[in-house]
Amino acid sequence: MPTHDEMVRVVERYVEAFDHNDPEMVVALFAADGTVEDPVGTPAHKGTEAIRAFYTRSMKSTPKLTLEGPVRTAADFAAFAFSVRLNFGGEKKIDVIDTFRFNEEGKVVEMRAYFSPQNMQGFD
């Protein structure tokens, strides 16, 4: 199982990938059979190709992610709060909490994003 520091580094690389607008950098963090449920309650994107397509679409609006506090870890999970800032038709912000579950190799096997319309500002 990855250590706290290893899981934190994956989260930091995830944020960095958005800074570089690089979906391949995100894909490299996931196991081949990983899943992305963003937001929770929507159908999951499963596997490398689906994850790549999801992040390629997500990065088209060049979102800027900012961690809002420390990464929390327990067992094989990391949870982190962050804000997403978008600038199309004016600035927009989404407050999100993501969780990552890791496999023994330190790859993300499950990502879940927690937010709802109540966490979105500027989308009127």
Active site (catalytic) residues: 14, 38
The per-residue DSSP string of 47-108 comes to SHHHHHHHHHHHGGG--EEEE-SPPEEETTEEEEEEEEEEESSSEEEEEEEEEEEE-TTS-E
The closest alpha carbon to 52, from 79, 28, 73, belongs to 28
Distance CA 108, CA 124 (A): 34
Give dist(CA 85, CA 95) in Å, integer.
Answer: 9
Collapsing DSSP to helix, strand or coil, 20 comes out as coil
**Structure token digits, residue 50:** 């689906």
